[in-house]
Structures are given as structure tokens and as C-alpha cells.
Amino acid sequence: MTGTFFERFSAVVSLGLLAGLAMTAWLLSQLALRPSWDAAPRAGGQMNAQVRSAEVLQTDTSGKPKYRMQTPELSLFDDGRSQMQAPLLVALRQDAPAVRARASRALVSADQNEITLEGDARIERQAYGKEAEVRILTDWVRFDVSAQTAETTAPVRVNQGATVLTGVGMKFNQRTEQIEILSKTQMVLPSRQTEP
């Protein structure tokens, strides 16, 4: 009885292997017959367009200018990302001077919500009211457009009027204009001269 069981078991296993081979051969033939236009799209990251001397203006829902971007060279990639050479990014505000950001280049995410400035990145705001001019200098900085924040882990220097603040890493909130230096903070205050 055990002999017939093993014979039947081995026959069933053989039939299963034969059916598996037949199914694999059919799938491979279907893949070989597939038209070329059904092929998977090419890998992302390949440049598909380049624009010289570009200027882009983004408005809010009421049509008022919100952001302006200027660059002598804009490269667009097939995965939705873009790269700008020597960009000028300007956040236009109703109640205060514009915030300007510059760098050697900028990388923009596919959803256009994240912009990373690289190489001699600068963020500047002119003085107004009782507020002194602000200038932030760092190697790179990443902007979150919807949150209106900027941050870096690189060394940073902040000049606010005659006050100088240095450190490593920074968070900047454009709405509140608060700057947080994350570590190794040093501040140089202007000296006060006393009258005789």
C-alpha cells in the first residue's frame, strides 16, 4: 500500500511541475508578444527640457502675486523635478518687505512644495518699521513652500542690523520671522558707546 501511495504522490508532483512549466512558458510568450508602446516608462531623472531666462509668478486665490522666481537657466526632468541655475526666489508679502533668496543653484521637488538652495545660499529681508535688515548666509537651505519655513543643518550666519548670530543648523519661519539656531550658537552684539 505504501508503494502505490508514493507512486501516486510522485505522479501528482510530476503533473504539478509539468503544469507549472507550461504556465511559465505561456507567460514568457505573452511578454515577448507585448507591443513596445506598453513598455514601462523610462526611469526618472532624465532631463527633457531646458529653458533659458525664465521668470515664474505664483499668485494666491485672489490673483495677488505671492512668489516670484527668476533664473537664467531652468532644467525640467521627466520625473517632475526641476533645477535652476543662479536662482532668485522672492516671497512677496502685503505687510512687510519681500523675502529674497539666492544661491548657485536650486532643486525643486516634483510637487513644487520643496525647494533646496545649494551653494552660497542667502536669504534677505530689508529693514522696515523698527525691524532691522536680516541677512542669512549658509551653504544650503531647504524651503517648505506650504509651511513657509526654511531649514538647514549646515553652518549658518545671521546678520540682523549690527547683531551677528552664528551656529550650526537653522529653522526659519517666514510667517513669524523667527529664526532658531540649532547648535553651537554664538552671538555678537554691537557695542554701546557711553556719552562722557
Q: What is the pLDDT of residues 46-59, one digit of tens each?
A: 888 888 998 888 88
CATH of the domain at 176: 2.60.450.10
| 60 within a domain of the structure (yes/no) | yes
| 108 within a domain of the structure (yes/no) | yes
pLDDT band at 168 (very low <50, low <70, confident <90, very high): very high
Q: What is the pLDDT of residue 57?
A: 86
How confident is the model over 61-87, as a mean pLDDT? 90
Model pTM above 0.95: no
Domain hosting residue 115, numbered range: 47-188
| 160 within a domain of the structure (yes/no) | yes
Task: Give the count of domains, the chain.
Answer: 1
pLDDT band at 178 (very low <50, low <70, confident <90, very high): confident
For the beta carbon of residue 93, count every other beta carbon within 10 angstroms: 13
Cβ contact 82:108 at 8 Å: yes
| 72 within a domain of the structure (yes/no) | yes
- All residues at 6 or more sequence positions from 142 whose CB lies less than 8 Å from its CB, including other chains: 114, 115, 116, 117, 150, 151, 152
| 163 within a domain of the structure (yes/no) | yes
| DSSP result, the chain | -HHHHHHHHHHHHHHHHHHHHHHHHHHHHHHHHS-GGGSPPPPS--EEEEEEEEEEEEE-TTS-EEEEEEEEEEEEETTS-EEEES-EEEE--SSSPPEEEE-SEEEE-TTS-EEEEEEEEEEEE--BTTBPPEEEEEEEEEEETTTTEEEEEEEEEEEETTEEEEEEEEEEETTTTEEEEEEEEEEEPPPPPPP-
For the beta carbon of residue 167, count every other beta carbon within 10 angstroms: 18
| 94 within a domain of the structure (yes/no) | yes
Distance CA 141, CA 147 (A): 15
- Note the Cα 131 to chain centre separation in Å: 30
Cβ contact 145:110 at 8 Å: no
Find the range with the poorest average confidence among 11-25, 97-111, 135-149.
11-25
Q: What is the pLDDT of residue 101?
A: 92
Q: Is the pLDDT of residue 97 over 80?
A: yes
Q: What is the pLDDT of residue 40?
A: 34
| 129 within a domain of the structure (yes/no) | yes
One-letter amino acid for residue 27 of the chain: L
| 71 within a domain of the structure (yes/no) | yes
Q: Is the pLDDT of residue 78 over 60?
A: yes
Q: Is the pLDDT of residue 37 over 50?
A: no
Q: Which of 193, 171, 194 shows the shortest CA–CA distance to 182?
A: 171
Task: Considering only residues 146 and 32, tell me which one the structure prediction assigns the higher pLDDT.
Answer: 146
Distance CA 143, CA 136 (A): 13
Distance CA 136, CA 171 (A): 11
